[in-house]
Chain A
């Protein structure tokens, strides 16, 4: 089998797998599965990039996404109050907005694909894409990439601050009081936890329930 035919078949397979995996992200009911279907989709894109001779970019994409999708799954589990991410939960929201956005995006991209005049500039075989990428990152595009990098770093620090044990409502381990049996107006304060032993003594038969 000739090389170009093998490449064409591989391209078809990886593209199809990418699309199917991306679709499955929204068909699953679990945060972890959704994250890893997305990783599978990215791995397909990485494979296509390797086929396009952007080997370094394709491999780095897979390398980065393996870590990032895992981190994303962990953060989703942390923020969603879904213990361990084991409970099923729906992965799609705001159906109408999502449908409109999806149709518009698809139509836009399809229009670009049909109408745009794609350049036909075969690259020289001798060029080293990895070296070109390095020059680009530390040359003309440095400001853009550094700005993006600092923005991402800031959002990472923000996400960590939100998820950290010491939050704005105090230490997560100390602030967690069982909900009161009588509805209370307003936010709960630390005082609730301090007076808890007395409350337990007052309503002995409910104490077990409040800890359940």
Chain B
């Protein structure tokens, strides 16, 4: 089947996003229960995301005074579209990539750069102080970890001598990038969690801003926003599995199963960290990002480049 033709591509990307998002929500709930020392009820953990989503769907939408209605409606759609576009570049099995372009990793980076625009617009267009603060917080953080994200992805592309994600997966035959470039995956996960404003890096939609960019949004639009940010996390996890964990490669099981397992593993790590690590302080984290994360990412690029030569 040709997965790049429009209809199969749409079905495949939507299915992966839906399954991944539900898995993330279940993992998140299970981790939350463990941290809160509630008894872990598997049935609850599985049903809770559906309940929360239907509650949001039935909630009445609210409005603020003179919002920028177009940008407000655009923000969740843009975020979801960028997540879908980023996921399209990931090889889900041997030869199954929706957007199998030879600059796939650049396309992924471009989609992740527009995430910043979506989150800022979401905060700015509500015409309300707390969302606006959330939007500015996201810019401050996102600008700090766009650079490490781009650098670790470039480092992963160096041994493959190609910007194609498929070639990067192929280049990990024998040795996965997580071992070959030990700095890559941790830095990538920090940046990726930040792009989905998840857990410790969720400063833009944080409880200390009463919900940040989403505080004035309720009802279906809120549901769309909450889904879209989880789509971003799923896309980031899938790309992480492809670029650092060898993608579809693995013994016995078929390629797609390995890809699913590895993506789920990264989602579990993200869900775990989301509940176990304290929220960062914005100003301090920006300093850490520029003085620690970017130099580490540069070391990653230089060492990988030297090894690839």
Contact = CB atoms under 8 A, between A and B. Distances in A.
B139 A62 contact: no
Nearest to A68: B113
A102 B72 CA distance: 33
B168 interface: no
B103 interface: yes
B110 A74 contact: no
B163 interface: yes
A84 B132 contact: yes
Interface string B91-125: 00000000001110011011001101100110010
Contacts of A130: 102-103, 163
Interface in B176-193: none
B interface majority secondary structure: helix
Given A63-B110, A66-B116, A70-B116, A32 B139 contact: no
A62, A70, A85, most chain B CB atoms within 10 A: A70
Nearest to B74: A36
A51 interface: no
Contacts of B71: 33, 36
Interface string A121-151: 0000000001000000000000000000000
A32 B113 contact: no
B127 interface: yes
Contact of A63 (B101, B102, B113): B113
Contact of B109 (A32, A63, A84, A85): A63
A73 B102 CA distance: 32
A165 to B, nearest CB: 12
Interface in A60-101: 60, 62-64, 66-67, 69-71, 73-74, 84-86
A106 interface: no
B143 A66 contact: no
Contacts, number: 60
Contacts of A71: 143
Nearest to A35: B117
Contact of A36 (B101, B121, B136): B121
B44 interface: no
B139 A74 contact: yes
Interface residues of A, number: 23
Interface residues of B, number: 24
B103 A85 contact: no
Contact of A55 (B68, B101, B109, B113): B101
A125 to B, nearest CB: 13
Nearest to A56: B103
Contact of A66 (B101, B102, B107, B110): B110
A64 B112 CA distance: 11
Given A56-B163, A71-B143, A84-B132, A62 B110 contact: yes
B143 to A, nearest CB: 7
B300 interface: no
B163 to A, nearest CB: 7
A98 to B, nearest CB: 26
A60 B150 CA distance: 11
A69 B117 CA distance: 9
Closest 4 CB pairs of A and B: A66-B113, A63-B110, A59-B106, A62-B110
Given A30-B68, A66-B117, A70-B120, 20 more contacts: A33-B68, A36-B71, A56-B103, A56-B106, A59-B106, A59-B109, A62-B113, A62-B114, A63-B109, A63-B110, A64-B113, A66-B110, A67-B113, A67-B116, A67-B143, A67-B146, A71-B143, A84-B129, A85-B124, A130-B163
Interface of B: 68, 71, 101-103, 106-107, 109-110, 113-114, 116-117, 120-121, 124, 127, 129, 132, 136, 139, 143, 146, 163
